[in-house]
Structure 1
Amino acid sequence: MSSALANGLAGAGGGVIAQILTYPLQTVNTRQQTERVVKKGIDGGLGASPGANQRPRSTLVIKSEGWGGLYSGLKPSLLGTVASQGVYYYFYQVFKNKAESIAAARKAKGLGDGNLGMISFLAVAAISGSLNVLLTNPIWVLVTRMQTQTQAERNIMERKRDALLREASQNRAIASTLQDKLAELESLKPSPYGTLKAAAEVYNEAGIRGYWKGIVPTLIMVCNPSIQFMIYETSLKSLKERRATNKLGVKPITALEVFFLGAVAKLGATVTTYPLLVVKSRLQAKQDIGSNLSMRYTGTLDAILKMIQYEGFLGFYKGMSTKIVQSVFAASVLFMVKEELVKAFTILSYKSRKIRLNALR
């Protein structure tokens, strides 16, 4: 088994485990990111979206939707995780091997020390990440829709309720049936929908292009794993070099050490790129927000400008604390599991080759 294939399979396996463990936090975080609250003192006749002050914490999600609400979109998310992690780690290892070959060739010519520097790690991660984004973005559009659909439906119901109350205050004939209409509206509780319905909704709204909504900030966010891997690879390299000079003998890197290196790497990358993640989620979420044009986005630049104007710069950091906990823990688990799986695949591959050689003798 090639090192690229081993890393691709290990990355996919580690990603699935990390995704299952942290998915409820991811759902809550996506809802926090897509929650629209207009700055105090800024209205322009548009006002804030209904339900905007309801913070979608996990307890509120469980209360209104049950435990299943925290796992909305889990199936396509796991598919996306397998695809994106597999694609990313496969190409990452392919390009890393190529970069190492070039570095070795340069060393043979007396140029450089044969090691990859930060720029090389960044370039490898950026190219791998770009390919991953272009191939898997449609899956993540569906996941975001499924995570935020009940939130959007609840806002629609709030608008209908407010409209009924306004109409009843102006028309006595309608006021007599108000309670019945409110009760009927209350009975229509929003519930998560499936992958096919989400896919059909995206297509009906924007056609094929809809599956690549948020592609611009997502491509820019390629710098997130690039920063993450730069920190991780350089930290791991530094640790290995220190171990190599240890007079007491070389100790192998433990799973716990990899866990902490992954946590530090992801923390640095998340804090740096979080505003782009919020913009991406806003663009991919359902945009049914009534007549409030201040919260309807036509593209990446429009979203950024309207968020600055109506919500202020703090709007770009909504739910960041939740994201830090989720992403740091997920990345730590992913790196730890991936490294252990790579070791297992390497051992299995070695034993398989040994068995084949013995059979040929």
Structure 2
Amino acid sequence: MSNAVANGLAGAGGGIIAQIITYPLQTVNTRQQTERVAKQSSASSKRLGTLLQILQVIRTDGWGGLYSGLKPSLLGTAASQGVYYYFYQVFKNKAEAIATARKAKGRGDGTIGMFSWLTVAALAGSLNVLLTIPIWVLVTRMQTHTQAERKIMEERKEALLREASEIGLTGSEFQDKLAELDSIKPRPYGTLQAVHEVYTEAGITGFWKGIVPTLIMVCNPAIQFMIYEGSLKRLREKRATSKQGKKSITALEVFLLGALAKLGATVTTYPLLVVKSRLQAKQEIGGNVSLRYSGTFDAILKMIQYEGLPSFYKGMSTKIVQSVFAASVLFMVKEEFVKVYMMLEDKCNKVLFSSAK
């Protein structure tokens, strides 16, 4: 098995573990990003902390609400991390071969520069996005379904109030209609329902909604890996010249480097993530035109017009905690998986070599 395949499998395994651990935070964060609040009401609206929002989801949707969309999310994580790390390693091997060839010709020191790291990560990220974005569209729909259903119900109740004032409904008639609305429960919503809804709304292209900001966001892992690989390289160089005899990088050190890298990448690209989530969530929420987006630029303009610049940073504190912790776990688990693979491969080679004798 090549090191690209080994890194792909290790990345998929690490991504699944990190996703399961941090999924409730991801669900809450997606709801925070897609919550529409007008400028005039945003200042007076009460913003709940992340923990209180988790408790609110449990109260309204049960424990299952925190894990809505987990199955396709795990599939998406395995596919995304597997695809990303596979192509990342393929392009990294190519970049290292080019750097070695340049050194042989007397140009460079044989190491990969920062621009090359960015290029490698961007190419791997772009391929990952194009191949796996339909899965994440479905995950976003499933995470925000009950939130969208509540918005629709609020619109219906407001319409009923307007109707009552305009045509003069009696108290009993109004209460009967209100009770009828309250009796409506959210429809069962699974992966197949999400697929049908997306296709009904926008056809096959609906599964690639948010592709523009998502492609731009390949700079997130590019920045992440530039920081991570650069920091890891410096740490290894420092260890190589250390007189204390400690050469290997520990799992804790990889965890901390992964956290630092993801923190820098998340803060830089968060507004794009909010726009992506808005585009992938259910668009037909009542009749308010400010809640529907026809594309990336339409979403950006309407968010600025109706909600102001702070809307681009909704839920960022939750995202920082979730993504930094998830990335740290992913990097740590991935590196340990690769170490185990390399150790097993070395043992197999020794056994084959001794049997050949």
Q: TM-score, normalised by structure 1?
A: 0.94
Contact 1:125 1:226 in 2 (8 A): yes
Q: Matched residues in 2 for 1:91 and 1:309: separation?
A: 40
Contact 2:5 2:86 in 1 (8 A): yes
> Structure 1: any 5+ residue segments left out of the alignment?
42-47
Cα 1:178/1:291, change in 2 over 3 Å: same
Q: Matched residues in 2 for 1:185 and 1:242: separation?
A: 66
Q: Matched residues in 1 for 2:250 and 2:216: separation?
A: 33
Distance apart, 1:246 and its partner CA = 0.5
Q: Secondary structure at the match of 2:40?
A: coil
**Deviation per CA, 1:268-287, whole angstroms, max 9, x where unpaired?**
00000000000000000001
Aligned pairs (5 A) from 1:147-158: 147-158=143-154
Match of 1:110 among 86, 106, 109: 106
Cα 1:70/1:191, change in 2 over 3 Å: farther
> Structure 2: any 5+ residue segments left out of the alignment?
none
What is the match of residue 162 of structure 1? 158
Worse-matched range after superposition: 327-336 or 286-295: 286-295
Q: Matched residues in 1 for 2:345 and 2:284: separation?
A: 52
Match of 2:200 among 186, 189, 204: 204
**Deviation per CA, 1:53-79, whole angstroms, max 9, x where unpaired?**
786811111110001001010000000
Distance apart, 1:182 and its partner CA = 1.7
1:184 maps to 2:147: no
1:338 maps to 2:334: yes
Contact 2:151 2:286 in 1 (8 A): no
Q: Matched residues in 1 for 2:291 and 2:162: separation?
A: 22
What is the match of residue 92 of structure 2? 96
Contact 1:6 1:345 in 2 (8 A): yes
Contact 1:37 1:53 in 2 (8 A): no
What is the match of residue 39 of structure 1? 39
Contact 1:4 1:93 in 2 (8 A): yes
Query: What letter is aligned with 1:329?
Result: F
Which aligned segments of 4 or more residues in structure 1 are displaced greater than 6 angstroms?
A: none
Q: Secondary structure at the match of 1:72?
A: coil
Distance apart, 1:172 and its partner CA = 4.1
Query: What letter is aligned with 1:14?
Result: G
What is the match of residue 269 of structure 1? 265
Contact 1:214 1:280 in 2 (8 A): yes
What is the match of residue 23 of structure 1? 23
Q: Matched residues in 2 for 1:40 and 1:212: separation?
A: 33
Q: TM-score, normalised by structure 2?
A: 0.95
Distance apart, 1:186 and its partner CA = 1.5
Cα 1:354/1:186, change in 2 over 3 Å: same
Q: Matched residues in 1 for 2:164 and 2:47: separation?
A: 25
Q: Matched residues in 2 for 1:295 and 1:31: separation?
A: 14
Contact 1:72 1:192 in 2 (8 A): no
Distance apart, 1:192 and its partner CA = 5.6
1:142 maps to 2:142: no
Contact 1:76 1:195 in 2 (8 A): yes
Q: Secondary structure at the match of 1:176?
A: helix
